[in-house]
Amino acid sequence: MTLDKDKLGELYGKVGVGNQTTLGIMGSNRDISVGEIFLIYSCRDNHERVFFFRVLGLENYLRQVDDIARVAGTLMVEGDSYLSGIERNMLLSVGGRMLGYAEKKGDEWVFNSPRRLPDHLASVYRPVPGTSDENVRTMLECQTEGEVYVGDLQVGEKTLDVPIRIPSKFLPMHVGIFGATGSGKSNLMMVLIKSAIDNNLDAFRNPEKNSQRVSAFCIDPHDEFAKGVDKYGIQHVVENMSASTRSEVIGEFYYLTTHKRATRRDIRKYTREIRILWSEIQPRDLYSIRDFTAEMTSFIDSQYNVKHEDWISTILNMDEEAADAANVQKGTLRAVKRRLGFLRRSPIYIEKGTSILSDIFSAMETGRILVVNTSLMSDREQFLLTTIVTRTLADMRRALKSSGNLGDFEKQGQMRLPAPFFNSVKTLARAFYGLGGVEDDSPVQDPRDLPVIQVTVEEAPSILNPELMKGQSVFKDISRQGRKFNIGLLVVSQQVSVLDNVILSQMNTEINLRLGNEREIRACIENASVNISGFENEFRVMSRGEAIVTQSHRELPLPIRIPLFDDIYEKDKHRYKDKGSKKSEEHIL
Amino acid sequence: MVFTDINNQQDRRDEQEFTKDETRIKERLLDTFTPYNPDVILENDFRVAAIDGSGTDSLMTLDDIRIHLLSTSTVVVDTNTQSENLFAPIDRESLESEIGEQPHIDIHWHSGVRGDARKKLAETLANIYPLKDVATLTLPFFRDYRPGEISAFSDFAGTEYEKHVPRLREMEFLISREQLLTNPTVHEEIRKVSEYAAARRLLMSDLQLKYLLLDGALSVFMHFVRHYPSMPSGFMLRDLCVLARQKNVVVCAVSKNHTIPFAHRIAGMARDVFGDNAKWFCHLPSSEDPDGGLHIYEDRTYIPPMLAVPYLYSFSRDNRPSRIDFDRIWWLENIFVPGDPGATRDNEKALFAELEFMSRDARWYGYPVPLALAHESCKLSYEDLRLAKEVCMDVRSEMGLERRKAQDLRADYDM
């Protein structure tokens, strides 16, 4: 046989009863924990396979004892009793789920859903860090490879050196991050941001690989990503880069905030203030974050049709007589004004001035990462910002997708986007989207060859709830069509149960951290992209930083431990230096 | 109805008989002893072996042929008080190197052809028992049964056995209950012999045992007319007892389901005298003992068994009393002190203290742990038997033999 079984780990036990979904294993009396992964070697009909099994339940088992409670009682009552040669009869009955099996096809290991059964009494191996890593890594390659690193394969309380990555091409099919407060969402976000930066750095350094860049618009509701939670943050990654690398990978700025002056001095260099012009807001941006009655929407729509990008100023300045003349009820006008009122009070949404939106567009189209400090924004301001950015980026790419050449694109853009914004970015857009030129007749790129754009939706239930998604929400379109434009949502939420079904059914990757209660656990299991029924107990015992990653394009639900950002930064910080300087360092060493 | 009858006929009679024995049992036969401390460290740790067997007389039924399957298991434990690993079984490898693979499996079959049962049984027994010379096998019985009278074949001259001498040299003729060779009897005999064979291997090994525990009783069934055992196993048992005495091994047989009448009354009496938690034993004397046998089993043929000394004992308040038999010759030499009941009692107490010490496993509290372990390792579950049957079917089909159904016949009708 080709496989070195010693490299699977230590021999732990034998397969007992079970079927292709659940198995019972009789194993030695070791300190096993729920969540451990065992490897079962099987060679039925000469097909060498390694089955992956996840421990979901444990029970002490004493051979030759049917009634363990009675024996315990006797030991207690008859003080002189003993258990003769009991050590070898003390076993652990381990129940759990089959995750699937790996087998070699040609030179490649492929992984399959659990549709077969291991041999009778097949040997069960317990992976040992340091011994089994390489084997497991090879066998699971098709389940773990990709560009965006999220964590390491967890086997019980330990991890193997098997990095779990998500392929960037699956990001536009939306990613969900679910976890209760304190489950490690912020750290995970920082790890993901770092992974995206690493991916882009790699793409920049190895242009011959032609790999795709990843852009991310990351909402940071507690302003922790840049500075970091503990010791290091994204700022350290940025600072560590040489100027040339930084300008290629990070650009001029990466940090967006409401109040630049309140930003720490070192970060301020890379900071832009968030300002959005009223003219860049479309009515459906607002419909996406709040519900409006039919009267209100018809009034807003009529104003938008007439006044276009000036619709907000027009409505806010409209007096009741003018409304009367336009056949609008006073109540409706007042209600709409009340709802738009926050724009007048907001420091972010301005009537006149310089907008950041074109810079955001430019950053997103060039594979940049933006950390958006929303800690000083109201919820509504934050939701509106996410909506506007998402809708603008999507509309730009939609215009591109529906065009044959740059001339077409410009027409499409004029039609779909507010004129002042489109006019300010069209030259740039032509440069990004044109294929071999910027002339009207130059053909355009396929959006799928452009950087993957990932937009974070924080506190997702506030905007991705069934009420708002019923109406004209821009997120409804994105969730269904995002993959066409290479734009994906990164939905971050403490709850799964309250999210709209459209987004849940379109979501193809879930990173499930520890959840708050039984209802969320149930919802999470029901909505997972692969069958993880039976993992209820797992969720109940998960600790901070542990997660189960489910992906519709992969058969295996992957238990992972997300490393602390500080640790991986320490490990990788040398990589951000210039290639040249790194080489010289090595030379000196 | 049945219970009324039992109560009227048997219980009433036994009650009357028991009344006659009551005082004797209470005052002279029943006693308690001082159990070992749980943390005792014996000066000489010792080894105890136990043998148990199990089997089926119908592994396969092929018309009038039945295939018997027997599994016999031997366990040797060490008191290990010095290393505080009480009664741990000695490791399998050293055990198997001394006495062969464990558990030991035997197979037997015979047909319904006249004489076939006896012939095949004799072949199987001769095959299983390690002592192959039948003449040597038969003599120990006579030495114990007629001590001082018969010690060699030449001594048969002039005795009632003279005419049977040729029969005592052939295994087949030792089976003198041919008419009774039903399947269960045959099975029972092979099982016993298989256990005795294991016992003999143990006694001949270098394992240096102090005790050898068997499951059941040390009964020998006698031929009513010829006055010697009606089956070969009877001779084998005596062969073992003689061998054990030579090797200083105590042979005893423990049975949970014995047939001692009024055992529950004796147990009740023990509770009254010694208290609920007491560990006790009760000698069941025979007619040859001083003061003779007890009235309650006067008419019960096999109690006490010939050449054996039975005791009733209980080491656990939760269980019914069990019975234990010792070789009478060994008992007369080692326990019984003629004319000194006190010394005899002291010997008994020491013996039962040791037996009790080996019966404290929490899984089978009150039952000797080596026997329990042997039982666990020999028993054939329904599932084991089903698998064995399947294996048989596969073997047959591999050999190109015709396929026949192997389940119980009643399975055909789903009964």
Per-residue model confidence as pLDDT tens digits over B358-400: 999 888 888 999 999 899 888 887 888 888 888 888 887 888 7
Lowest-confidence range among B63-67, B229-233, B249-253, B357-361? B63-67
Q: Are the Cβ atoms of B373 and A71 closer than 8 angstroms?
A: no
pLDDT at B413 (0 to 100):
64
Q: What is d(CA A289, CA A463) in angstroms, rounded to the nearest whole number?
A: 5
Q: What is d(CA B118, CA B179) in angstroms, rounded to the nearest whole number?
A: 10
Q: Looking at per-residue confidence, does A236 or B56 come out higher?
A: A236
Letter for the amino acid at A147?
Answer: E
Q: Are the Cβ atoms of B362 and A85 closer than 8 angstroms?
A: no
Give the residue from chain B lying closest to A67, CA to CA.
B363
Banded pLDDT at B327 (limits 50, 70, 90): very high
pLDDT at B376 (0 to 100):
86
Burial of A17 (0-12, 13-18, 19+ CB in 10 A): exposed
Say yes or no: ipTM exceeds 0.95.
Answer: no
The helix or strand, by DSSP H or E, that contains position A59, with its residue range, turns out to be: strand A49-62
For range B268-287, the mean pLDDT: 87
Residues B156-168 pLDDT 10s: 888 888 888 888 8
Cis peptide before B103 (omega within 30 of 0): yes
**A207 touches B at CB < 8 Å:** no
Rounded to a whole number, what is the distance in Å from the CA of B76 to chain A's nearest CA?
A: 11
Rounded to a whole number, what is the distance in Å from the CA of B199 to chain A's nearest CA?
A: 22
Rounded to a whole number, what is the distance in Å from the CA of B371 to chain A's nearest CA?
A: 12
Nearest Cα neighbor of B60 from B104, B109, B106, B103 is: B109
Rg of chain B taking only CA atoms, in angstroms: 23
**A83 touches B at CB < 8 Å:** yes
Rounded to a whole number, what is the distance in Å from the CA of B245 to chain A's nearest CA?
A: 28
Rounded to a whole number, what is the distance in Å from the CA of B294 to chain A's nearest CA?
A: 34
Beta-strand ranges (E) seen in A470-542 are 487-493, 509-512
Q: Determine the residue among B73, B213, B363 to mutate to test chain A binding: the one whose Cβ has the most chain A Cβ atoms within 10 Å.
A: B363
Per CB-CB distance under 8 Å, the chain A contacts of B360 are 78, 80-82
**A90 touches B at CB < 8 Å:** no
Banded pLDDT at B412 (limits 50, 70, 90): low
Residue A159 in tokens: 């991890």
pLDDT at B410 (0 to 100):
59
Per CB-CB distance under 8 Å, the chain B contacts of A69 are none
Q: What is d(CA A30, CA A457) in angstroms, rounded to the nearest whole number?
A: 44
**Quick check: A355 and A345 in contact, CB under 8 A?**
no
pLDDT at B403 (0 to 100):
65
Residues B184-209 pLDDT 10s: 888 888 999 999 999 999 999 888 89
Q: Are the Cβ atoms of B362 and A80 closer than 8 angstroms?
A: no
Per CB-CB distance under 8 Å, the chain A contacts of B89 are 84-85
pLDDT at A127 (0 to 100):
92
Q: Are the Cβ atoms of A80 and B35 closer than 8 angstroms?
A: yes
CA torsion through residues B335, B341, B347, B352, sign: positive
Q: Looking at per-residue confidence, does B9 or B272 come out higher?
A: B272
Q: What is the pLDDT along chain A (589 residues), one digit of tens a residue?
A: 577 888 889 999 999 988 888 999 999 999 998 888 999 999 988 889 999 998 988 988 888 788 888 888 888 888 888 888 778 888 999 999 898 999 998 888 999 988 899 999 999 999 988 888 998 999 999 899 999 999 999 887 888 999 999 999 999 999 999 999 999 999 999 999 999 999 999 999 988 888 889 999 999 999 999 999 889 999 999 999 988 889 989 999 999 999 999 999 999 999 999 999 999 999 999 999 888 999 999 999 999 999 988 999 999 998 888 888 878 888 899 999 999 999 999 999 999 999 999 999 999 999 999 999 999 999 889 999 999 999 999 999 999 999 999 999 999 999 999 999 999 999 999 999 998 888 888 999 999 899 999 999 888 888 888 888 887 888 888 999 888 999 999 999 999 999 998 889 999 999 999 998 899 999 999 988 888 888 888 888 889 999 999 999 888 899 999 999 999 999 998 888 765 444 434 444 4
Per CB-CB distance under 8 Å, the chain B contacts of A75 are 362
Q: Which residues are CB-neighbours of B213 under 8 A, at least 6 positions away? A: B48, B49, B50, B51, B252, B253, B254, B368, B370, B371
Q: Are the Cβ atoms of A82 and B362 closer than 8 angstroms?
A: yes
pLDDT at A459 (0 to 100):
85
Q: Are the Cβ atoms of B361 and A64 closer than 8 angstroms?
A: no
The helix or strand, by DSSP H or E, that contains position A150, with its residue range, turns out to be: strand A148-155
Q: Where are the domains of chain A?
A: 5-139, 165-273+370-393+452-567, 279-350
Q: Which residues are CB-neighbours of A422 under 8 A, at least 6 positions away? A: A413, A414
Long-range contacts at B153-161 (CB < 8 A, ≥ 24 apart)? B160/B227, B161/B226, B161/B227, B161/B228
**Quick check: A212 and A452 in contact, CB under 8 A?**
yes
Letter for the amino acid at A182?
Answer: G
Burial of A265 (0-12, 13-18, 19+ CB in 10 A): exposed
Q: A226: how many CB neighbours lie within 10 A of its CB?
A: 25
pLDDT at A390 (0 to 100):
94
**A80 touches B at CB < 8 Å:** yes
**A66 touches B at CB < 8 Å:** no
**Percent share of chain B, pLDDT over 70:** 95
Provide the CA A13 distance to its chain's centre, in angstroms. Answer: 37
Residue B24 has pLDDT above 50, yes or no: yes
Cross-chain CB nearest to B87 (options A65, A75, A84):
A84
**A120 touches B at CB < 8 Å:** no
Per CB-CB distance under 8 Å, the chain B contacts of A64 are 363, 372-373, 376
Per CB-CB distance under 8 Å, the chain B contacts of A72 are 362
Distances (CA, A) of A191 to A171, A196, A234, A235, A546: 15, 9, 9, 13, 13
Fold of A165-273+370-393+452-567: Rossmann fold (3.40.50)
Size of interface A-B (CB pairs under 8 A): 50
Q: Is A405 helix (H, G, I), strand (E, B) or coil?
A: strand
Q: Which residues are CB-neighbours of A99 under 8 A, at least 6 positions away? A: A37, A51, A52, A53, A54, A114, A556, A557
Give the residue from chain B lying closest to A62, CA to CA.
B363
